Amino acid sequence: MAGPEPQDWSRRVFDLLVEAGVSLFAYVPDAGNRALVDLADAHNETRAVLLSSEQEGIALAAGADLVGARAVVCMQSSGVGNCPNMLSLVRGGRFPMLLIVTMRGDYGEMNPWQYPMGQAVGPVLEAMGVVTYRVEDAGDLEPAARAAIDAAWRGGQGVALVLSQKFLGAKPF
Amino acid sequence: MTEPSLDRREVLGTLFPDPGEYLMVAGLAGSARDAAALTDESDRLFAFGGAMGGAVPMGLGMALAAPDRKVAVVTGDGELLMNAGALASVASTMPDNLSIVCIDNGRHGETGGQVGHTARRTDLAKLAEGAGMPSTMTVADAAGLGAAAAFLKDAPGPRFVCVRVAPGPPADYKRSWDPAECRLRFRRAWREASAVRRG
Protein backbone atom coordinates (compact mmCIF):
# COMPACT_ATOMS: atom_id res chain seq x y z
CA MET A 1 0.00 0.00 0.00
CA ALA A 2 1.65 3.16 -1.15
CA GLY A 3 1.13 6.52 0.52
CA PRO A 4 2.31 9.89 -0.74
CA GLU A 5 6.02 10.32 -1.42
CA PRO A 6 7.55 11.00 2.00
CA GLN A 7 9.70 13.78 0.55
CA ASP A 8 6.58 15.63 -0.60
CA TRP A 9 4.56 15.71 2.61
CA SER A 10 7.69 16.15 4.72
CA ARG A 11 8.67 19.20 2.71
CA ARG A 12 5.23 20.75 3.16
CA VAL A 13 5.23 20.17 6.91
CA PHE A 14 8.85 21.29 7.25
CA ASP A 15 8.20 24.55 5.42
CA LEU A 16 5.19 25.30 7.63
CA LEU A 17 7.24 24.60 10.77
CA VAL A 18 10.12 26.80 9.65
CA GLU A 19 7.66 29.55 8.79
CA ALA A 20 6.28 29.19 12.34
CA GLY A 21 9.77 29.70 13.75
CA VAL A 22 10.65 26.14 14.71
CA SER A 23 14.41 25.76 14.98
CA LEU A 24 14.88 22.42 16.80
CA PHE A 25 13.61 19.07 15.56
CA ALA A 26 14.11 16.55 18.35
CA TYR A 27 13.52 13.02 17.18
CA VAL A 28 13.76 9.31 17.69
CA PRO A 29 14.23 7.83 14.22
CA ASP A 30 11.27 6.30 12.44
CA ALA A 31 10.88 5.33 8.81
CA GLY A 32 7.96 7.78 8.79
CA ASN A 33 9.92 10.83 9.99
CA ARG A 34 13.15 10.16 8.11
CA ALA A 35 12.64 12.69 5.32
CA LEU A 36 11.41 15.39 7.73
CA VAL A 37 14.45 14.93 9.97
CA ASP A 38 16.78 14.95 6.96
CA LEU A 39 15.34 18.31 5.92
CA ALA A 40 15.90 19.69 9.42
CA ASP A 41 19.44 18.38 9.38
CA ALA A 42 20.22 19.95 6.02
CA HIS A 43 18.68 23.38 6.62
CA ASN A 44 21.01 26.00 8.04
CA GLU A 45 18.47 27.53 10.42
CA THR A 46 17.18 24.29 11.92
CA ARG A 47 18.82 21.52 13.82
CA ALA A 48 17.90 17.84 14.14
CA VAL A 49 18.57 16.52 17.65
CA LEU A 50 18.78 12.77 18.09
CA LEU A 51 17.18 11.55 21.33
CA SER A 52 17.56 8.29 23.21
CA SER A 53 13.94 8.26 24.35
CA GLU A 54 10.99 10.32 23.18
CA GLN A 55 10.26 11.71 26.63
CA GLU A 56 13.53 13.64 26.46
CA GLY A 57 12.04 15.57 23.58
CA ILE A 58 9.19 16.86 25.76
CA ALA A 59 11.64 18.31 28.29
CA LEU A 60 13.97 19.54 25.54
CA ALA A 61 11.16 21.44 23.83
CA ALA A 62 10.13 22.93 27.19
CA GLY A 63 13.73 24.07 27.74
CA ALA A 64 13.75 25.73 24.32
CA ASP A 65 10.46 27.45 25.14
CA LEU A 66 11.95 28.95 28.30
CA VAL A 67 14.45 30.84 26.17
CA GLY A 68 11.93 31.88 23.54
CA ALA A 69 12.69 29.20 20.96
CA ARG A 70 10.45 26.61 19.32
CA ALA A 71 11.07 22.88 19.05
CA VAL A 72 9.02 19.96 17.77
CA VAL A 73 9.35 16.32 18.81
CA CYS A 74 9.17 13.68 16.08
CA MET A 75 8.44 10.10 17.05
CA GLN A 76 6.88 6.83 15.99
CA SER A 77 3.58 5.93 17.66
CA SER A 78 5.36 3.51 20.00
CA GLY A 79 7.29 6.48 21.38
CA VAL A 80 4.08 8.07 22.63
CA GLY A 81 4.14 5.32 25.23
CA ASN A 82 7.42 6.68 26.56
CA CYS A 83 6.02 10.16 27.13
CA PRO A 84 3.07 10.31 29.52
CA ASN A 85 4.75 11.29 32.78
CA MET A 86 6.96 13.86 31.06
CA LEU A 87 3.80 15.36 29.58
CA SER A 88 3.05 16.51 33.15
CA LEU A 89 5.33 19.41 32.23
CA VAL A 90 3.05 20.42 29.38
CA ARG A 91 -0.19 20.26 31.27
CA GLY A 92 1.09 21.58 34.59
CA GLY A 93 3.48 24.17 33.16
CA ARG A 94 1.30 25.16 30.22
CA PHE A 95 4.20 24.70 27.87
CA PRO A 96 3.30 24.81 24.19
CA MET A 97 4.28 21.47 22.67
CA LEU A 98 4.03 19.98 19.20
CA LEU A 99 4.54 16.25 18.74
CA ILE A 100 4.72 14.81 15.24
CA VAL A 101 3.68 11.19 15.50
CA THR A 102 4.10 8.79 12.59
CA MET A 103 1.83 5.82 13.10
CA ARG A 104 2.44 2.10 13.27
CA GLY A 105 0.01 -0.46 14.61
CA ASP A 106 -2.64 1.21 12.53
CA TYR A 107 -4.35 0.72 9.15
CA GLY A 108 -2.67 -2.14 7.28
CA GLU A 109 -0.09 -2.98 9.97
CA MET A 110 1.50 -6.42 9.66
CA ASN A 111 3.67 -6.48 12.80
CA PRO A 112 1.64 -7.65 15.78
CA TRP A 113 4.05 -5.97 18.20
CA GLN A 114 3.00 -2.58 16.90
CA TYR A 115 -0.73 -2.91 17.58
CA PRO A 116 -0.97 -2.45 21.37
CA MET A 117 0.78 0.91 21.53
CA GLY A 118 -0.42 2.02 18.10
CA GLN A 119 -4.03 1.56 19.15
CA ALA A 120 -3.35 3.28 22.49
CA VAL A 121 -1.90 6.48 21.02
CA GLY A 122 -5.23 8.34 21.04
CA PRO A 123 -6.26 7.37 24.59
CA VAL A 124 -2.76 8.01 26.01
CA LEU A 125 -2.52 11.47 24.46
CA GLU A 126 -6.06 12.28 25.52
CA ALA A 127 -5.37 11.12 29.07
CA MET A 128 -2.47 13.57 29.30
CA GLY A 129 -4.46 16.45 27.84
CA VAL A 130 -2.74 16.56 24.45
CA VAL A 131 -4.93 17.84 21.60
CA THR A 132 -4.72 15.46 18.65
CA TYR A 133 -5.10 16.14 14.93
CA ARG A 134 -5.03 13.07 12.72
CA VAL A 135 -4.06 13.09 9.08
CA GLU A 136 -5.92 10.36 7.20
CA ASP A 137 -5.45 11.56 3.64
CA ALA A 138 -3.40 14.05 1.69
CA GLY A 139 -6.11 16.71 1.86
CA ASP A 140 -5.90 16.73 5.67
CA LEU A 141 -2.20 17.39 5.84
CA GLU A 142 -1.84 21.11 5.43
CA PRO A 143 -4.92 22.19 7.42
CA ALA A 144 -4.03 19.78 10.22
CA ALA A 145 -0.40 20.96 10.32
CA ARG A 146 -1.52 24.60 10.44
CA ALA A 147 -4.08 23.81 13.14
CA ALA A 148 -1.44 21.99 15.19
CA ILE A 149 1.04 24.86 14.90
CA ASP A 150 -1.63 27.36 15.95
CA ALA A 151 -2.86 25.20 18.82
CA ALA A 152 0.70 24.98 20.15
CA TRP A 153 2.05 28.49 19.75
CA ARG A 154 -1.06 30.61 19.69
CA GLY A 155 -3.30 28.44 21.83
CA GLY A 156 -0.55 27.38 24.23
CA GLN A 157 -1.57 23.71 24.06
CA GLY A 158 0.16 20.39 23.95
CA VAL A 159 -0.77 19.06 20.52
CA ALA A 160 0.03 16.02 18.43
CA LEU A 161 -0.04 15.92 14.64
CA VAL A 162 -0.70 12.23 14.07
CA LEU A 163 0.12 10.94 10.59
CA SER A 164 -1.94 7.79 10.17
CA GLN A 165 -0.82 4.68 8.41
CA LYS A 166 -3.67 5.18 5.97
CA PHE A 167 -1.95 8.42 4.98
CA LEU A 168 1.67 7.24 5.23
CA GLY A 169 1.16 3.77 3.82
CA ALA A 170 1.82 0.61 5.79
CA LYS A 171 5.41 -0.57 6.00
CA PRO A 172 5.83 -3.58 3.75
CA PHE A 173 7.69 -6.58 5.22
CA MET B 1 34.65 3.25 47.84
CA THR B 2 34.85 5.31 51.04
CA GLU B 3 31.65 6.80 52.37
CA PRO B 4 31.30 10.42 51.24
CA SER B 5 31.15 12.97 54.04
CA LEU B 6 30.16 16.15 52.17
CA ASP B 7 27.04 17.96 53.32
CA ARG B 8 24.97 18.54 50.17
CA ARG B 9 23.85 21.95 51.42
CA GLU B 10 27.40 23.23 51.03
CA VAL B 11 27.96 22.00 47.48
CA LEU B 12 26.27 24.48 45.16
CA GLY B 13 27.60 27.62 46.85
CA THR B 14 31.16 26.46 46.13
CA LEU B 15 30.46 25.25 42.60
CA PHE B 16 28.51 28.36 41.59
CA PRO B 17 29.98 31.40 43.39
CA ASP B 18 28.09 33.61 40.91
CA PRO B 19 24.95 31.63 40.02
CA GLY B 20 23.56 34.61 38.09
CA GLU B 21 25.99 33.73 35.27
CA TYR B 22 23.87 30.69 34.50
CA LEU B 23 20.46 29.75 33.25
CA MET B 24 19.68 26.90 35.60
CA VAL B 25 17.50 23.79 35.56
CA ALA B 26 17.07 21.73 38.73
CA GLY B 27 15.77 18.17 38.89
CA LEU B 28 13.00 17.33 41.28
CA ALA B 29 13.21 16.97 45.07
CA GLY B 30 16.38 17.85 46.99
CA SER B 31 18.20 19.28 43.96
CA ALA B 32 15.33 21.71 43.36
CA ARG B 33 15.46 22.87 46.97
CA ASP B 34 19.25 23.23 46.96
CA ALA B 35 19.19 25.19 43.70
CA ALA B 36 16.29 27.36 44.87
CA ALA B 37 18.19 28.13 48.10
CA LEU B 38 21.35 28.94 46.13
CA THR B 39 19.61 31.47 43.91
CA ASP B 40 16.78 32.51 46.28
CA GLU B 41 14.60 30.96 43.58
CA SER B 42 15.87 33.23 40.87
CA ASP B 43 13.85 33.83 37.72
CA ARG B 44 16.73 32.20 35.84
CA LEU B 45 15.99 28.88 37.54
CA PHE B 46 13.41 26.32 36.43
CA ALA B 47 13.02 23.74 39.18
CA PHE B 48 11.16 20.50 38.58
CA GLY B 49 8.72 19.08 41.12
CA GLY B 50 7.87 15.97 39.08
CA ALA B 51 8.42 14.67 35.53
CA MET B 52 11.41 12.75 36.85
CA GLY B 53 14.18 12.44 34.27
CA GLY B 54 13.45 15.77 32.63
CA ALA B 55 16.23 17.97 33.99
CA VAL B 56 19.08 17.02 31.66
CA PRO B 57 17.00 17.12 28.45
CA MET B 58 15.46 20.45 29.49
CA GLY B 59 18.96 21.83 30.02
CA LEU B 60 19.95 20.46 26.62
CA GLY B 61 17.04 22.20 24.91
CA MET B 62 17.92 25.43 26.67
CA ALA B 63 21.63 25.15 25.82
CA LEU B 64 20.93 24.45 22.14
CA ALA B 65 18.40 27.27 21.88
CA ALA B 66 20.56 29.82 23.76
CA PRO B 67 24.10 28.96 22.63
CA ASP B 68 25.55 32.23 23.90
CA ARG B 69 24.41 31.63 27.49
CA LYS B 70 25.84 29.30 30.13
CA VAL B 71 23.37 26.63 31.18
CA ALA B 72 23.67 24.46 34.29
CA VAL B 73 21.62 21.42 35.23
CA VAL B 74 21.62 20.47 38.90
CA THR B 75 20.09 17.11 39.58
CA GLY B 76 20.24 13.98 41.72
CA ASP B 77 21.41 10.45 41.02
CA GLY B 78 17.91 8.98 40.91
CA GLU B 79 16.58 11.71 38.63
CA LEU B 80 19.54 11.37 36.29
CA LEU B 81 19.28 7.59 36.06
CA MET B 82 15.58 7.81 35.23
CA ASN B 83 16.68 9.12 31.82
CA ALA B 84 20.34 8.22 31.59
CA GLY B 85 20.14 8.05 27.80
CA ALA B 86 19.86 11.84 27.81
CA LEU B 87 23.61 11.91 28.49
CA ALA B 88 24.12 10.37 25.05
CA SER B 89 21.83 12.99 23.53
CA VAL B 90 23.98 15.68 25.16
CA ALA B 91 27.19 14.07 23.91
CA SER B 92 25.82 13.75 20.38
CA THR B 93 25.00 17.45 20.18
CA MET B 94 28.01 18.70 22.19
CA PRO B 95 26.69 22.03 23.50
CA ASP B 96 29.81 23.60 24.98
CA ASN B 97 27.69 25.95 27.11
CA LEU B 98 26.12 23.11 29.14
CA SER B 99 27.27 21.84 32.55
CA ILE B 100 25.59 19.06 34.49
CA VAL B 101 26.11 18.72 38.24
CA CYS B 102 24.77 15.58 39.87
CA ILE B 103 24.38 15.66 43.64
CA ASP B 104 24.83 11.97 44.26
CA ASN B 105 23.68 10.86 47.70
CA GLY B 106 23.04 7.28 46.63
CA ARG B 107 19.51 7.62 47.93
CA HIS B 108 15.97 8.37 46.81
CA GLY B 109 15.73 11.12 49.40
CA GLU B 110 12.24 12.39 48.65
CA THR B 111 10.56 9.03 49.09
CA GLY B 112 12.20 8.02 52.34
CA GLY B 113 15.90 7.64 51.65
CA GLN B 114 15.78 4.26 49.90
CA VAL B 115 19.14 3.09 48.55
CA GLY B 116 19.86 3.83 44.89
CA HIS B 117 22.20 2.21 42.35
CA THR B 118 25.08 4.58 43.04
CA ALA B 119 25.27 3.36 46.64
CA ARG B 120 25.95 -0.07 45.15
CA ARG B 121 27.99 -0.27 41.96
CA THR B 122 27.00 2.49 39.55
CA ASP B 123 29.50 5.26 38.78
CA LEU B 124 27.78 8.24 37.16
CA ALA B 125 30.92 9.99 35.89
CA LYS B 126 31.90 6.79 34.08
CA LEU B 127 28.39 6.57 32.70
CA ALA B 128 28.67 10.15 31.41
CA GLU B 129 32.11 9.44 29.99
CA GLY B 130 30.82 6.32 28.31
CA ALA B 131 27.95 8.34 26.86
CA GLY B 132 30.60 10.46 25.17
CA MET B 133 30.75 13.56 27.33
CA PRO B 134 34.17 15.15 26.88
CA SER B 135 34.74 16.41 30.44
CA THR B 136 33.69 14.41 33.48
CA MET B 137 34.85 14.25 37.08
CA THR B 138 33.80 12.92 40.47
CA VAL B 139 34.46 14.73 43.73
CA ALA B 140 33.72 13.63 47.28
CA ASP B 141 35.36 16.15 49.61
CA ALA B 142 35.91 19.86 50.15
CA ALA B 143 39.18 19.99 48.18
CA GLY B 144 37.45 18.25 45.30
CA LEU B 145 34.66 20.81 45.34
CA GLY B 146 37.18 23.59 44.74
CA ALA B 147 38.62 21.65 41.82
CA ALA B 148 35.13 21.08 40.47
CA ALA B 149 34.40 24.82 40.57
CA ALA B 150 37.49 25.42 38.41
CA PHE B 151 36.49 22.51 36.15
CA LEU B 152 33.08 24.09 35.55
CA LYS B 153 34.81 27.28 34.42
CA ASP B 154 37.60 25.83 32.36
CA ALA B 155 36.95 22.28 31.12
CA PRO B 156 35.69 21.89 27.55
CA GLY B 157 31.92 21.51 27.53
CA PRO B 158 29.62 19.83 27.87
CA ARG B 159 30.80 19.04 31.41
CA PHE B 160 29.61 16.54 33.96
CA VAL B 161 30.45 16.68 37.66
CA CYS B 162 29.33 13.99 40.07
CA VAL B 163 29.45 15.24 43.66
CA ARG B 164 29.22 12.35 46.10
CA VAL B 165 27.58 13.57 49.28
CA ALA B 166 26.51 12.05 52.56
CA PRO B 167 22.84 11.14 52.85
CA GLY B 168 21.21 14.06 54.61
CA PRO B 169 18.58 16.74 54.14
CA PRO B 170 18.66 19.31 51.32
CA ALA B 171 18.35 23.04 51.96
CA ASP B 172 15.32 24.02 53.99
CA TYR B 173 13.78 26.23 51.32
CA LYS B 174 10.12 26.54 50.29
CA ARG B 175 10.21 26.68 46.51
CA SER B 176 7.29 27.31 44.16
CA TRP B 177 5.27 24.23 43.24
CA ASP B 178 3.47 25.85 40.31
CA PRO B 179 5.27 24.99 37.06
CA ALA B 180 3.15 27.41 35.03
CA GLU B 181 4.18 30.26 37.34
CA CYS B 182 7.82 29.17 37.07
CA ARG B 183 7.60 29.09 33.28
CA LEU B 184 6.10 32.55 33.00
CA ARG B 185 8.60 33.97 35.48
CA PHE B 186 11.53 32.48 33.56
CA ARG B 187 10.26 33.61 30.16
CA ARG B 188 9.56 37.13 31.37
CA ALA B 189 13.09 37.44 32.76
CA TRP B 190 14.50 35.98 29.55
CA ARG B 191 12.60 38.49 27.39
CA GLU B 192 13.72 41.40 29.54
CA ALA B 193 17.35 40.25 29.51
CA SER B 194 17.19 39.73 25.73
CA ALA B 195 15.84 43.23 25.23
CA VAL B 196 18.72 44.62 27.32
CA ARG B 197 21.29 42.58 25.35
CA ARG B 198 19.90 43.87 22.09
CA GLY B 199 20.13 47.40 23.51
ipTM, 2 decimals?
0.97
Cα–Cα distance between B120 and B94 in angstroms, integer?
A: 30
A69 vs B contacts (CB less than 8 Å)? 61, 65-66
Whether B192 and chain A come into contact, CB under 8 Å, resolves to no
Whats the size of chain A, residue-wise? 173
Residues 40-99 of B with CB under 8 A from A: 46, 50-66, 69, 83, 85-86, 88-89, 92-93
pTM, 2 dp: 0.97
Q: B8-198: what fold? A: Rossmann fold (3.40.50)
Does A92 touch chain B if contact means CB atoms closer than 8 Å?
A: yes
Residue B188 distance to chain A (closest CA, Å)? 9
Angle between helices A6-19 and A138-153 (to 10 degrees): 20
Domain that holds residue A11: 6-168
Tell me, yes or no, whether A46 lies in a domain: yes
Per-residue burial over B139-168, b = 16 or more CB atoms within 10 Å of its CB, e = otherwise:
bbeeebbeebbebbeebebbbbbbbbbeee
Interface list for A 11-50 with B (CB within 8 A): 23-24, 26, 47, 49-50
The domain that contains A27 carries what CATH number? 3.40.50.970
Taking the domains of chain B in order of start, what are their residue ranges?
Answer: 8-198
pLDDT by 10s per residue, chain B, length 199: 568 999 999 999 999 999 999 999 999 999 999 999 999 999 999 999 999 999 999 999 999 999 999 999 999 999 999 999 999 999 999 999 999 999 999 999 999 999 999 999 999 999 999 999 999 999 999 999 999 999 999 999 999 999 999 999 999 999 999 999 999 999 999 999 999 888 7
Q: How many Å apart are CA A140 and CA A123, to the nearest integer?
A: 21
* A173 in a structural domain: no
Indicate the number of domains in chain A.
1
**Three-class DSSP category at A64:** helix
- Interchain proximity A63–B25, CB inside 8 Å: yes
Nearest to A77 by CA among A171, A140, A173, A141: A171
Question: What is the pairing mode between strands A97-102 and A70-76?
Answer: parallel
Contact of B1 with chain A, judged by CB distance below 8 Å, is answered with: no
Q: Which of B50, B62, B83 is opposite residue A63, by nearest beta carbon?
A: B62
Does residue A1 sit within a domain?
Answer: no
In a domain, A38, yes or no: yes
